[in-house]
Amino acid sequence: MTEPDFDVVVVGAGPAGSVTAALLARQGHSVAVIERGESPGSKNLSGGVLYSRVLEDVFPGCLDEAPYERRVTRNEVVFLTPESAVGLDVASDRLADPVNAVTVLRARFDPWLAAQAEEAGAYLMPGVRVDRVLTAPGGSGAAGRRVVGVQAGEDELRARVVVAADGVNSFLAREAGLRPQPPTHHLAVGVKAVLTLPEHVIEDRFGVSGDEGAAIAYVGDCTRGVGGGGIVYTNRSSLSVAVVLRLDDLVAKGLAAADVFEHFLAHPRLARYVRGAQVVEYGSHLVAEGGWDMLGEVVSDGMVVVGDAAGLTINSGLTVRGMDLAIGSAVAAAAGVSAALEADDVSAAGLSGYRERLLAGTVGRDLRTYAKAPAFLERPRVYGDYGRLLEEIMVDVFRLDGTPRKHLARVAVDALRRSPVRLRDLASDALAGVRAL
């Protein structure tokens, strides 16, 4: 048998891969990280709100040096119709201190994370695409094979454990037979642009100062009714603007993803934020949307799957979380892999401590809490009728047009009567919403 080149080969230098590598290297294991981008982060994009506590647990005090953009001190949720916006704006010191979330740009943030892995002793190989896993006979699975390394072009790299941290399209996990291609209602496409604006303009328009920032989530007309939503997040001197579109619904509605994005950019409610801004980058990326239902096997003989590759994203409609879950899964995986290496048992059974830690920790608990969210968010009324209903109610409350005033409850009942939403739909959606979110 060929001697392994490394204890662990990690494929993918996103948050999941770099944190797994850093923790394993810290414990004295030899670790290589392979990244297909010319540098870490060059293939990655996200909306950009990183719930940062889990990162601070791994790298105490890291917010002093990590290249984040702004601390999120203001969250807003806005229901959009073609002409109106009804929003809930939350600004609280309790979101600011201690820091709850920061905005990041991945082409700057991921290299910093990868550097932490290198500092801990991991060997980084950028610009290399892994083509397949290497297997050998043995193992407990049906195919009777175990993973013993990876192949990249002509090169083979052998490892006792391979960590698939290769993102939402994970070719590695699929090829190893661990995870089937997700159904299209478990995937969404994110379409994003970064737009530059002077810092003081951002501060004025969003009502923040210093390194404070805002995260605004839009529901409704921003996606032209396609399941999903829109976001505007503030960076230091730019804005991240994106739509997230559920693939089954995008295809069913026959809309073009680029058109929906342009529609959002051109929406009058957005114009106030993006006026005069310059597009500096345009990108797209898939988002895992299945939540708990998407979490399948994460461990096999000689391999573990972390982060997006394992489908670990939570979309509650108000927040998209993936980076913090990627880091959370990395913490669980590093502990599980380390225990397996020390016990010299890298079989699926030997590595199963990862899965247990994952499910017992925040990642597993939150996935379970939001298990019903994806199905709830497939209810179409969320993206159209409710925005309209809220608009009617709020406009009626504020518009003094000489007609006799009515109590709020009466206004709501009348608006509901005019709306296509039936009372029993509302009751059913409200109940489902309360249970799911």
Partner 1 sequence: MTGAKPSTAERLARNRFELDEDESHIEVHQDVVRATGCGPVLVAVCPARVYAEREDGGLDVEYAACLECGTCRAVAPPGALTWHYPRGGFGVSFREG
Q: Which of 14, 213, 228, 336 binds ligand FAD (CB under 6 A)?
A: 14
Least Cβ distance, residue 13 to partner 1 (angstroms): 12
Interface with ligand FAD includes 70 (CB under 6 A)? no
Binding mask 124-163 for partner 1 (x = CB under 8 A): --xxxx----------------------xx----------
Q: Which stretch binds ligand FAD (CB under 6 A): 23-31, 204-212, 306-314, 393-401?
A: 306-314
Which of 32, 232, 323, 421 lies at the binding interface for ligand FAD (CB under 6 A)?
323
Kindly tell me which residue out of 88, 90, 266, 375 binds partner 1, with binding defined by CB under 8 A. Answer: 266
Which residue type occupies 297?
E
Rounded Cα gap, residues 22 and 67, in angstroms: 18
44 binds partner 1 (CB under 8 A): yes
182: partner contacted, choices partner 1, ligand FAD, none (Cβ within 5-8 A by kind)? partner 1
222 binds, among ligand FAD, partner 1, none (CB under 5 to 8 A by kind): none
Stretch near partner 1 under the rule CB under 8 A, chosen from 223-231, 259-267, 347-355, 357-365? 259-267
Residue 161 near which of ligand FAD, partner 1, none (CB within 5-8 Å, type-dependent): none
Binding ligand FAD (rule: CB under 6 A), the pick from 17, 220, 230, 387 is 17
Q: Which one-letter amino acid corresponds to residue 189?
A: V
Interface stretch with ligand FAD, choices 7-15, 139-147, 340-348, 383-391 (CB under 6 A): 7-15
- Find which of partner 1, ligand FAD, none residue 328 binds, CB within 5 to 8 Å per kind: none
From the list ligand FAD, partner 1, none, which binds 318 (C-beta under 5 to 8 Å, kind-based)? none
Burial of 221 (0-12, 13-18, 19+ CB in 10 A): buried
Part in contact with partner 1 (CB under 8 A); list of ranges 83-91, 207-215, 247-255, 409-417: 247-255
Q: Which does 350 bind (CB under 5 to 8 A by kind): partner 1, ligand FAD, none?
A: none
Q: How many residues bind partner 1 (CB under 8 A)?
A: 60
What is the largest distance, in Å, between two alpha-carbon atoms of the chain?
88
User: Footprint of ligand FAD on this chain (CB under 6 A)?
Assistant: 11-17, 34-37, 43-44, 46-50, 129-130, 165-167, 171, 190, 192, 242, 244, 285, 287, 307-309, 313, 320-324, 326
User: Footprint of partner 1 on this chain (CB under 8 A)?
Assistant: 36-38, 41-46, 105-110, 126-129, 152-153, 168-169, 171, 181-182, 184, 187, 189-191, 193-195, 238, 247, 250-251, 254-258, 261-262, 265-266, 274-286
